[in-house]
Amino acid sequence: MSHQETIAVDREVRFGDVTYPFHVRSGPESWNGLTARLAALEPDRLIVITDDGVPDALADQVRANLSALVPTHVLRLPASEKAKTLSTLDDLAERTILSGVTRNSVVVALGGGLAGNVAGLLAALVFRGLRLVHLPTTLLGMSDSVLSLKQAVNSRVGKNHLGTFYAPAFVWNHLDFLDTLPREEIQSALCEMIKNVLGICPDRYDEVAARLRIDAQYSYETFADFIELCVDAKTRVMRDDKREKREALVLEYGHTVGHAAELLTGGALRHGFAIGVGMLVAGRIGTELGLLSDDELKAHQILLERNGSPTALPAGLTADQIIETVRLDNKRGYVPARPGAVDMVLLEGLGCPHWVGDNVITQVDEDLVRVGVNAYLPGVGRPSLPIPGQRQVPSQVRA
Q: Which residues are catalytic, by number? A: 150, 252
Q: At what angle do helices 29-39 and 56-67 cross, to 10 degrees?
A: 50
- Would you put residue 63 in left (φ > 0), alpha (ψ -120 to 50) or beta? alpha
3-state secondary structure the chain: CCCCCCCEEEEEEEECCEEEEEEEECCCHHHHHHHHHHHCCCCCCEEEEEECCCCHHHHHHHHHHHHCCCCEEEEEECCCHHHCCHHHHHHHHHHHHHCCCCCCCEEEEEECHHHHHHHHHHHHHHHHCCEEEEEECCHHHHHHHCCCCEEEEEECCEEEEEEEECCCCEEEEEHHHHHHCCHHHHHHHHHHHHHHHHHCCHHHHHHHHHHCCCCCCCCHHHHHHHHHHHHHHHHHHHCCCCCCCCHHHHHHCCHHHHHHHHHHCCCCCCHHHHHHHHHHHHHHHHHHCCCCCHHHHHHHHHHHHHHCCCCCCCCCCCHHHHHHHHCCCCCCCCCCCCCCEEEEECECCCCCECCECCECEEEEEHHHHHHHHHCCCCCCCCCCCCCCCCCCCCCCCCC
Instruction: List the end-to-end C-alpha distance of the chain, in Å, as a whole number.
Output: 32
- Measured in degrees and rounded to the nearest 5, phi and psi for residue 65 equal -70, -40
Q: In this structure, are residues 120 and 133 in contact, taking their beta carbons and an 8 Å threshold? A: no
Distances (CA, A) of 185 to 17, 128, 305: 33, 34, 15
Distances (CA, A) of 34 to 25, 28, 78, 373: 9, 11, 26, 45
